[in-house]
């Protein structure tokens, strides 16, 4: 596969090449005091010169000293918003001369080009694929949307204060799962992108951008930028044996402590790029001539989510936080063969009270307890 270098000015022809093949280009843009994901009309919509400052429960946009286009960390939106949208109509049913006529929801997806997908988020897409496509049941809506996208990944050279992808092995460099992966090289009068094609399609896009052959120096500069980024992660999570450790400490007092702070508001699950829980809701018209079934984002932090006949399985905030964290860091391994966490740090930044999953894991790690992991797995 080709690896080329193009100038900052090459972004616009790249976007134009994408616009020929896709209905929409989705990428980062500044809105409402954050770098969100939204439709991009041209390279002018990209957050050139912007950055962010991220801490537990705190996010602020600001200006960089340079004009880097991708000089920021993961924002409040995750790509699941476009692949597994918050509100999906599954079907509509109408009464038609005494018969019920069912009509599926949107079956032909929009073709979206995702621009600026971070390595942590690429890892998240891989996890969502396992959840939606590789289990016993395939989600046809996700499948259709997933097959219709193209991916321009951007390796991460500006990790944030809540990032820990390096310790999760998901970044800051993209391994696979992209059509094109860019590394932004900025400074000393230089503003270029090292572009690695990951597919024939990606090579085709690259052909439409004025570029030159990547030299050994270019590759070294990119490697150096990514190595430095790996060293600037605001956080780390020691994932070694973490699943068993959590199963072994289900009654640890740390759960009480976090429950005292947890708002059970659900923000962490909704910003998480891999959390996939939904609820199914039926709507009917006033006259009873039609009805709709919707699938909507839900959260394991909602009490209703654990309702079964007779009551709530997880009535307390303690049980809900524990469910989320043990599922994310332990249960996913058993269920999907991977951690559910990619180290993007969103749940830490966007928790209104700044609960830090790496810190909570550290508390449990510092604990003694009785082995329960075997019991749970058996």
Partner 1 sequence: MGRTRKPKLAVWKFASCDGCQLSLLDCEDELLDVVGAVEIAYFPEATRVSSRGPYDLSLVEGSITTLDDIRRIATIRKASKRLVTIGACATAGGIQALRNFKDVHEFVAAVYARPDYIDTLDRSLPIAHYVPVDFELRGCPINKYQLLELLSALLAGRRPSFPEHSVCIECKRRGAVCVMVAQGTPCLGPITHAGCGAICPAFARGCYGCYGPMETPNTASLGERWTALGVPPAAQARALRTFNAWAEPFRAAADAAAAAGKDRQP
Question: CA dist 248 to 106, 322, 355, 360, 369, Å?
Answer: 45, 12, 22, 15, 6
> Nearer Cβ to partner 1, position 230 or 265?
265
For the chain, give the number of residues: 378
> Nearer Cβ to partner 1, position 218 or 356?
356
What sign does the dihedral 194-199-205-211 (CA atoms) show? positive
In the numeric block, which tokens belong to residue 2?
Answer: 């080709």
> Measured from the CB of residue 263, what is the shortest distance to partner 1 in angstroms?
4
> Measured from the CB of residue 196, what is the shortest distance to partner 1 in angstroms?
31
> Nearer Cβ to partner 1, position 245 or 262?
262
Q: Could you give the 3-state DSSP secondary structure of residue 242?
A: helix
> Measured from the CB of residue 277, what is the shortest distance to partner 1 in angstroms?
11
> Measured from the CB of residue 290, what is the shortest distance to partner 1 in angstroms?
10
> Measured from the CB of residue 291, what is the shortest distance to partner 1 in angstroms?
8
> Nearer Cβ to partner 1, position 297 or 332?
297
Residues 121, 57: Cα–Cα separation, whole Å: 20
> Nearer Cβ to partner 1, position 96 or 374?
96
> Nearer Cβ to partner 1, position 4 or 295?
295
State the chain's maximal CA–CA distance in angstroms.
74
280 closest CA partner among 257, 299, 296:
296
Backbone region of residue 97 per phi and psi (left: phi > 0; alpha: psi in -120 to 50; beta: other values): left
> Measured from the CB of residue 270, what is the shortest distance to partner 1 in angstroms?
4
Phi and psi at 155, nearest 5°, equal -60, 155
- Only one residue has tokens 């708002």, namely 263
Contact by Cβ (8 Å): 13, 206: no
Q: Which residues make up the interface to partner 1 (CB under 8 A)?
A: 31-34, 36, 57-61, 76-77, 81, 86-87, 260-267, 270-271, 281-288, 291, 296-299, 301-304, 315-317, 349-353
> Nearer Cβ to partner 1, position 352 or 371?
352
> Measured from the CB of residue 323, what is the shortest distance to partner 1 in angstroms?
14
Contacts of 161 by beta carbon, 8 Å cutoff, 6+ apart: 53, 54, 55, 234, 235, 345
In the numeric block, which tokens belong to residue 20?
Answer: 């020929």
> Measured from the CB of residue 126, what is the shortest distance to partner 1 in angstroms?
23
- Only one residue has tokens 């690429």, namely 122
Phi and psi at 286, nearest 5°, equal -60, -40
> Nearer Cβ to partner 1, position 138 or 353?
353
Q: Could you give the 3-state DSSP secondary structure of residue 342?
A: coil
In the numeric block, which tokens belong to residue 153?
Answer: 């990944």
């Amino acid at each position: 596969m080709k690896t080329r270098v193009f100038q900052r000015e090459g972004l616009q022809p790249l976007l134009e090449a994408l616009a020929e093949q896709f209905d929409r280009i989705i990428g980062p843009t500044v809105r409402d005091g954050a770098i969100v994901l939204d439709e991009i009309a041209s390279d002018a919509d990209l957050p050139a010169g912007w950055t962010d400052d991220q801490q537990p429960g705190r996010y602020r946009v600001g200006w960089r000293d340079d004009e880097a286009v991708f000089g920021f960390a993961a924002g409040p939106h995750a790509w699941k918003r476009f692949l597994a949208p918050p509100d999906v109509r599954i079907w509509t049913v109408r009464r038609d001369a005494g018969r019920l006529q069912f009509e599926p929801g949107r079956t032909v997806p929009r073709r979206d080009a995702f621009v600026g997908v971070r390595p942590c988020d690429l890892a998240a897409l891989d996890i969502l694929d396992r959840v939606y496509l590789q289990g016993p049941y395939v989600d046809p809506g996700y499948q259709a949307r997933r097959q219709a996208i193209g991916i321009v990944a951007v390796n991460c050279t500006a990790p944030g204060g809540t990032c820990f992808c390096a310790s999760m092995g998901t970044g800051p460099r993209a391994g696979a799962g992209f059509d094109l992966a860019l590394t932004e090289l900025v400074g000393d009068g230089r503003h270029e992108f090292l572009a690695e094609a990951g597919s024939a399609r990606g090579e085709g896009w690259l052909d439409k951008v004025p570029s030159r052959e990547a030299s050994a120096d270019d590759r070294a500069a990119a490697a150096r930028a990514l190595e430095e980024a790996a060293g600037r992660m605001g956080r780390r999570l020691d994932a070694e044996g973490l699943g068993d450790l959590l199963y072994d400490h289900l009654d640890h007092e740390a759960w009480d402590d976090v429950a005292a702070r947890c708002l059970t508001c659900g923000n962490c699950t909704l910003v998480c790029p891999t959390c996939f829980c939904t609820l199914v809701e039926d709507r009917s018209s006033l006259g009873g001539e039609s009805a709709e079934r919707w699938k909507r984002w839900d959260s394991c932090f909602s009490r209703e989510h654990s309702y079964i006949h007779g009551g709530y399985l997880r009535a307390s905030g303690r049980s809900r936080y524990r469910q989320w964290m043990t599922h994310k860091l332990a249960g996913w391994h058993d269920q999907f063969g991977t951690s559910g966490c990619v180290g993007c740090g969103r749940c830490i930044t966007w928790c209104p009270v700044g609960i830090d999953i790496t810190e909570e894991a550290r508390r449990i790690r510092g604990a003694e307890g009785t082995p329960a992991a075997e019991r749970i797995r058996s």
